[in-house]
Structure 1
Amino acid sequence: MFRTASMPRSMTTLVGIALAALLLAAQPVSAAPTDTVLPIPFAGLTNGPTGLTNPPSNTYITVRTDPEEPGITRFRCGAYLYCDLVVHWRNLSTGASGAADLVYGPSPGVAQTGSGTVIAAFTAGGIPGYPGTPTTLLPGAGVWAVP
């Protein structure tokens, strides 16, 4: 630092020491993961872990993105530990698309969506044509940004 006519030398030294302390004590910048609840919930019938059809329900999906894992999206069922849903996604920035299964368990579905703006719809999973197969009455949907 340099000394000016309006600032005494002791003040200049003090400002320099304070600035150096701030720079040395600063923690590295790291962004925290972001959870986004998709605004339109799924409504319909799903299967439970026993294979039997659950009563009609509505479920929100939460997506988690993390700047330390660019291009990766993790999906979770809202309030339920178990769900039988499939998330159909498309990256509007790259054109990539795919599906992530959220079937029977607390572990989230993971998709390599790529970075950009991603849109998704989620529907009931299961095998069409079999008794007790889940039914989608209203697919859920949402949009989020992936770092």
Structure 2
Amino acid sequence: MTTLAGIALAALLLAAPPVSAAPTDTVLPIPFAGLTNGATGFSNAPSSTYITVVTNADEPGLTRFRCVADSYCELVVHWHNLSTGESGAADLLYGSSTPGVTRTGSGTVVAAFTAGGARGYPGTPTTLLPGGGVWAVP
């Protein structure tokens, strides 16, 4: 009976899928606030948006950024890894080849995000208050 139970347990363990951690979504607590200019040149009402940071233990050192409101936003995330000293920027700009994906490295990362559109282009956002936050990257 004990042998049969051992065989059954071994079969269950071998048939089990590999353990994988689910991605972690973190909404950065300080929203970006800005203005956009309409086609007439007049400013639209102020707007704000939050950024979500997505990390995954299966992709160590990689961070993905996305706008909470929608998939389209003209922001640049300026990040600094406090654990390694590395820093850089991730584009959330329309037409970017890898929008919002960057290798921050593992550790504690802090970021601020600002408007990143082209100057003089109608609809380009202007930063009134940069957004920001801190998160851990596996």
Pairwise same-fold verdict (TM > 0.5): yes
Two-structure CA RMSD over aligned residues (Å)? 2.6
The answer to whether the Cα contact below 8 Å between 1:45 and 1:124 also exists between their aligned partners in 2 is: no
Residues 1:68 and 2:58 are matched in the alignment? yes
| Equivalent-residue separation in structure 2 for 1:116 and 1:104 (angstroms) | 28
The answer to whether the Cα contact below 8 Å between 2:37 and 2:44 also exists between their aligned partners in 1 is: yes
Residues 1:16 and 2:6 are matched in the alignment? yes
| Equivalent-residue separation in structure 2 for 1:93 and 1:65 (angstroms) | 16
How far off is 1:82 after superposition? 1.8
How far off is 1:42 after superposition? 0.8
The number of equivalent residue pairs is 134
| Equivalent-residue separation in structure 2 for 1:54 and 1:103 (angstroms) | 20
| Equivalent-residue separation in structure 1 for 2:74 and 2:87 (angstroms) | 20
Instruction: Name which of 135, 138, 141 aligns with 2:126.
Output: 135
| Equivalent-residue separation in structure 1 for 2:58 and 2:24 (angstroms) | 11
Residues 1:98 and 2:88 are matched in the alignment? yes
| Equivalent-residue separation in structure 1 for 2:47 and 2:9 (angstroms) | 57
Moved more, 56-65 or 104-113: 104-113
Residues 1:29 and 2:13 are matched in the alignment? no
Moved more, 132-141 or 94-103: 132-141
How far off is 1:131 after superposition? 7.1
Read off the aligned partner of 1:109 and give its amino acid letter.
G
Q: Max radius of gyration: which structure? A: 1
| Structure 1 gap segments, 5+ residues each | 1-9
CA deviation digits over 1:14-54, x for unaligned, max 9? 43233223322221112222221111111112468x8x765
Question: SS state of the match for residue 63, structure 1?
Answer: strand
- 1:109–1:92 distance in 2 versus 1, CA, 3 Å: same
Question: SS state of the match for residue 145, structure 1?
Answer: strand
Moved more, 81-90 or 25-34: 25-34
- 1:77–1:95 distance in 2 versus 1, CA, 3 Å: same
